Amino acid sequence: MTLGRRLPRGFFGRRSTAVAPELLGRVLVRHLPDGTRLAARLVEVEAYEEGDPASHSYRGRPTPRTEVMFGPPGRLYVYFTYGQHFCCNVVTGANGRGSAVLLRAAEPLTGLEVMVANRQTIDARLLCSGPARLTQAFGIARAENGTDLVRGESLTLLSGTPLRRRSIARSTRIGVNEGGERPWRFFERESAFVSPGRPWTPDHAVGERATGSRRS
DNA sequence: CAATAGATGTCCT
DNA sequence: GGACATCTATTGG
């Protein structure tokens, strides 16, 4: 079974609301020094943009933490939150733009033993379901901030099998108050690896996909 | 099941 | 000082 080819730089160099739904079904891969390959299929992501009150890039200028988010597309932006968790994003948009897609959940494919050891649970549905769980399962932390997914060796994003639009659902973003009305969370409708129980609409029912502009 | 407390960096007012 | 792109353990119905 092939997981496909690396996604090229140009894939990431667009606005986050366009890249986010197209990341579903793609495969995050990590090569460990001992040869182990960790792989998981993305099933839930969220888009963040400049001028978006929920985004770390809201102010339009980088801070020491958010510098990577404003850099070239195709790199990993890792941040530390709530005093104990790491979350990771794929940087999108042109260099200089503070735009990224938060990786929220994935379906584990290979390297499950290592993920189990990293996560202290044997339940496959709890290995990568949640942004901080995903980073913990993959061993992604501060050292991985800024890693290039396009040219780098240890972390890559493979093309996998993108989802048909009708199997993609949308909702408001999780854990967001300011800017919470934007329906910028995208997930695989049928996936057992997505947190359930939140109102959603089919992506194909949303007419303004990829523009990111909202009325008013 | 639901609600809640606790862990405590980073950025903002 | 307070909020936060979170998760886990524990308590109560």
Whether nucleic acid strand C comes within 7 Å of the CB of A16, the answer is: no
Band (pLDDT 50/70/90 cuts) for residue A7 is: very high
- CA–C1' span, A197 to C13, in Å? 21
Whether the predicted pLDDT of A81 surpasses 50: yes
For chain C, which bases have at least one atom within 7 A of a protein Cβ? 3-8
pLDDT tens per residue across span A87-129 = 999 999 999 999 999 999 999 999 999 999 999 999 999 999 9
pLDDT tens per residue across span A121-147 = 999 999 999 999 999 999 999 999 999
- CA–C1' span, A130 to C4, in Å? 16
- CA–C1' span, A190 to C13, in Å? 31
- CA–C1' span, A158 to C3, in Å? 36
Single out the residue of A43, A30, A14, A34 nearest to residue A163, CA to CA: A43
Band (pLDDT 50/70/90 cuts) for residue A214 is: very low
Minimum-distance nucleotide, CA of A120 to C1': C8
Residue type, A104: R
- CA–C1' span, A63 to C10, in Å? 37
* Residue carrying the six token digits 């408001």: A172
Tell me the average pLDDT of chain A: 90
**Average pLDDT value for residue range A48-65:** 92
For chain B, which bases have at least one atom within 7 A of a protein Cβ? 7-12
- Six-digit token string for A187: 């997930």
Helix A131-138 vs helix A112-119: crossing angle, to nearest 10: 120
CB < 7 A from strand B, the residues are A 56, 58-59, 63-66, 80-84
pLDDT tens per residue across span A160-204 = 999 999 999 999 898 887 766 789 999 999 999 997 767 788 888
| pTM, rounded to two decimals | 0.92
- Six-digit token string for A39: 């792989």
* Secondary structure (3-state) at A119: helix
Minimum-distance nucleotide, CA of A129 to C1': C7
